[in-house]
Structure formats: C-alpha cells, structure tokens
Amino acid sequence: MLKMVISKKGMWVGLCILLTGLMMAPGLTVALDKVNINTADKEMLSSLPGVGPVTAGRIIEYREKNGPFKNKEEITKIKGIGEKTFQKIKDLITVE
C-alpha cells in the first residue's frame, strides 16, 4: 500500500515506488527495444505511430526490392511516410 505524503520529496519517493511497482506488475510489458525496419514483420511495423498495414507492406516491399535500409532517414522514401510521420517514429526505429 502506498502511503500519501504531503512533502514534495515524499511525493517523488512515492511516485518512484508506484512506478517501480507498475513496471514489475504481471502482464505489464514495457517495450524498450526499437523496431528494426530491416527485419520487422508487418505486424511490428504497423505498431509504429502513423504506420498502418498498407504502409508496413510498402516498407517490406521496398526492402525486398532494394535491400536493407542503410539509415533511418531512408524510410522517408516510402509512400505514406513523410517528415511528420518520420519525426514520430525516428526514435522508435533502427536499422541495426
């Protein structure tokens, strides 16, 4: 049970305890790994913000035709991934 503390220091300690407990909760998954756009399947690619099944299919088609992506920015060559979408996903993807 989390005890409520009025002081700011106590609130931060309580928040840290709460967050630690949530991270250790059964069934709670925290995705820390980036999506490798050179190996990810359609389902994994579709989990990226702004990338649906159609765009995910285009990513797979592109890499099958052109080989692996050399850098993250290359994904902007895919129809449906413009600068706005790239800004949303750039920290969530990798080519390694």
- Provide the pLDDT confidence category of residue 19 given band limits of 50, 70 and 90: low
pLDDT in tens, 30-41: 456 899 999 999
Diameter of the chain measured on Cα atoms: 60
- Output the six-digit token pair for 22: 């949530």
For the chain, the average pLDDT equals: 82
Instruction: Please name the residues in contact with 29: beta carbons below 8 A apart, sequence gap of 6 or more.
Output: none
- Output the six-digit token pair for 23: 């991270």
Q: Is residue 85 within 8 Å of residue 37, measured between CB atoms?
A: no
Residues 45 and 62 in one domain: yes
Residues 42 and 55 in one domain: yes
Q: Is 10 left (phi over 0), alpha (psi -120 to 50) or beta?
A: alpha
Q: Which residue range is the domain that position 2 belongs to? A: 1-30
Residues 7 and 45 in one domain: no
Does residue 9 surpass a pLDDT of 70? Answer: no
